[in-house]
Chain A
């Protein structure tokens, strides 16, 4: 079965400290992986994507993620959290056998403490 799992429903960090949001997927097909951010009452914004090129992907606002096939993971990181990073983050995957269909993780709510 194909699935995507975000291991933490809520992450809280202090401003200026690193951020780690975890995502794992399960599938025997080649995945494309994405991280989207959703600020309150706003639409989804693409942070970064992996589509079989470089395994370390750099996105907007200082975020990056590394695709690790052996661990079936695509964790999102940022060296130093900013107050404006507080939002809901979704790991999203699409698989080669399901065309354009996206599968969303359950989301991780990031709180940044001043």
Chain B
């Protein structure tokens, strides 16, 4: 079946640094990808919709300048957490739809720890 990968799976960084997370659709093209964050023992919260060839669409309350999204190609979207702070520590998950809204494939997630 379709596979979505994320890299890195784990990242630890110092406060104030920027971290880039990659999301790739491995065997299909995705003009749209979604970025979620999940705090411990909580549900996934949609952060933004990444659109190939255009600007990302951010959910209410998500800082555009803080979480930079670039949909560089039909198989790659990146999320950059700029000037990361400890409160940005979370589990970040991406997904890509295949075949309309009926099927979405999720990446394995990236766990970010900001010290």
Residues on A lying within 8 angstroms of B by beta carbon are 32, 36, 42-44, 46, 49, 51, 90, 94, 96, 99-107, 109
Given contacts A32-B101, A90-B44, 17 further A-B pairs with CB under 8 A are A32-B102, A36-B106, A42-B108, A44-B44, A46-B103, A49-B103, A94-B101, A100-B32, A100-B34, A100-B97, A101-B34, A101-B49, A102-B104, A104-B36, A105-B43, A106-B43, A107-B43
- Distance in Å: Cβ of A111 to nearest Cβ of chain B: 13
Number of A-B contacts (CB under 8 A): 48
Give how many B residues have a beta carbon under 8 Å from the other chain's beta carbons. 22
| CB-nearest residue of chain B to A109 | B41
> Which of chain B's residues 31-72 have a Cβ closer than 8 Å to chain A?
32, 34, 36, 41-46, 49
Residues on B lying within 8 angstroms of A by beta carbon are 32, 34, 36, 41-46, 49, 93, 95, 97, 100-104, 106-109
Partner of B93, one of A44, A51, A96, A109: A44
The reply to whether B102 and A104 form a contact with Cβ atoms under 8 Å apart is: no
Give me 24 A-to-B residue pairs in the complex whose CB atoms sit less than 8 angstroms apart, sorted by A's number. A32-B101, A32-B102, A43-B93, A43-B106, A43-B107, A43-B109, A44-B44, A46-B103, A51-B102, A90-B44, A99-B32, A100-B101, A100-B104, A101-B34, A101-B46, A101-B101, A102-B34, A102-B46, A102-B104, A103-B46, A104-B46, A106-B42, A107-B43, A109-B41
